[in-house]
Copies of this chain bind each other. A is one copy, B any other.
Amino acid sequence: MLKFEILHQSKKSRARVGRIHTNHGIVETPNFVPVATNASLKALTADQINALDIDLLFCNTYHLMLHPGEDVVAAGGGLHQFMNRTKPIITDSGGFQVFSLAYGGVHQELKSAGTKKTEGGVKKITEEGVLFRSYRDGSLIMLTPESSVRAQKKLGADIIIPLDELPPYHTQKADLKKSLDRTHRWEKRSLEEHLKNPHYQSMYAVVHGGIDQEMRKQSIDVLSKLAFDGYAIGGSLGKNRNEMVQMLTMLMPYMPYDKPNHLLGIADMPSLHAAIPLGLDTFDSSHPTKCARHGLLYTQAGNIAIVQGRYKQDFSAIDVSCDCYTCTHHSRAYVHHLFKAHELTAYGLATIHNVRFMVNLMKRYRQDILDNKL
């Protein structure tokens, strides 16, 4: 099980520098957690991932349950061995994908003004769990707190997550409360299932309550009484970044201070900049890798769209201050050419850069906190 050590509390904000000790190594915090959905950080090999110094990698139980199946991964020695990673891994419960496929993200949902309610794969939500249809073969699958945890035991990540419901942004207060209470019961059942055989794994609770401040506080209150090893914040936090930051500002002082605090699914730069001073420790997101595959590359001077003609003869590095493989071996002109020629190598080189950029960004954040600048 993990041990969380706070190395330094900033004198300027709630930001802190810490270390999460796991069975597979240390996660320095604050840190960015790249998403390797299918046990693969898109376009990269295990060695390329290792070279990036990613402390914690996020894999998605939903996708891995549907393919190759948690039993295959277990037969292959668990996620670490299956994907050849020696450092820490975190998996989610599968719930997020089941529900987000049903409701869509906040953006899609706002567009449909909350009318899109039960589309997607979700067939039924009961006290027992959620019944959904596999996007792969159409088969009906019952995901319960217990089955999610059992799957995550087979996957063998260092940090696992209890099953929760993700109510859409447009949810009536009474329905939200009903969902929240059920989520708490699901999380408790998940924890109980986990504690039957914790092995080296730790479990983070997921704080819910949608955009209702009181329910959010209540969620922290309920969950912090249970023996979770860390606390994640999930679900809709508002319809834009401002609302999210307001909610987090209100919420963070109530979060268990001596446990790792994780923000689920958000790691864009402005959000990081706002959330790190609030005391959040880890942030997962597929945004930097998705941007990379679309040729949107991070630099100290802002993002660049590498396919633009202006980079055709630009023989400088993507970011001169970056120490990644791409920046130390290739020019913008070469990466531009690979994108224009639709060469697969482009996606790998771009992913290497954006992820390494995030790793270095978080290193600077940690130093700024140590220096009480943040």
Q: Which of B39, B329, B341 contacts A63 (CB 8 A)?
A: B341
Q: Kindly state whether residue A67 has any CB partner on chain B within 8 Å.
A: yes
User: Using an 8 Å CB-CB cutoff, how does the interface string of A211-250 with B read, 1 for contact, 0 for none?
Assistant: 0000000000000000000000000000000000000000
How far apart are the CA atoms of A40 and B347 in the complex, in Å?
12
Q: Which residues of chain B are within 8 angstroms of A77 by Cβ–Cβ distance?
A: 315
Given A45-B349, A341-B40, A343-B42, are A330 and B67 also a contact pair (CB < 8 Å)? no
Q: Kindly state whether residue A103 has any CB partner on chain B within 8 Å.
A: no
Given A75-B315, A82-B334, A315-B76, are A340 and B47 also a contact pair (CB < 8 Å)? no
Q: Which residues of chain B are within 8 angstroms of A315 by Cβ–Cβ distance?
A: 75-77
How far apart are the CA atoms of A343 and B68 in the complex, in Å?
13
Q: Kindly state whether residue A317 has any CB partner on chain B within 8 Å.
A: no
Q: Which residues of chain B are within 8 angstroms of A338 by Cβ–Cβ distance?
A: 38, 40
Shortest A135–chain B CB gap in Å is: 12
Q: Which residues of chain B are within 8 angstroms of A345 by Cβ–Cβ distance?
A: 40-45
Chain copies in complex:
2
User: Using an 8 Å CB-CB cutoff, how does the interface string of A77-108 with B read, 1 for contact, 0 for none?
Assistant: 10000111000000000000000000000000
Q: Which residue of B lies closest to A351 (CB)?
A: B344
Q: Kindly state whether residue A46 has any CB partner on chain B within 8 Å.
A: yes
Q: Kindly state whether residue A313 has any CB partner on chain B within 8 Å.
A: yes
Q: Which of B39, B45, B312, B337 contacts A348 (CB 8 A)?
A: B45
Q: Kindly state whether residue A20 has any CB partner on chain B within 8 Å.
A: no
Which chain A residues numbered 96 to 139 have a C-beta less than 8 Å away from chain B? Answer: none
Chain A residues close to B by CB (< 8 Å): 38-48, 63, 67-68, 72, 75-77, 82-84, 312-313, 315, 325, 329-331, 333-334, 336-338, 340-341, 343-345, 347-349, 352
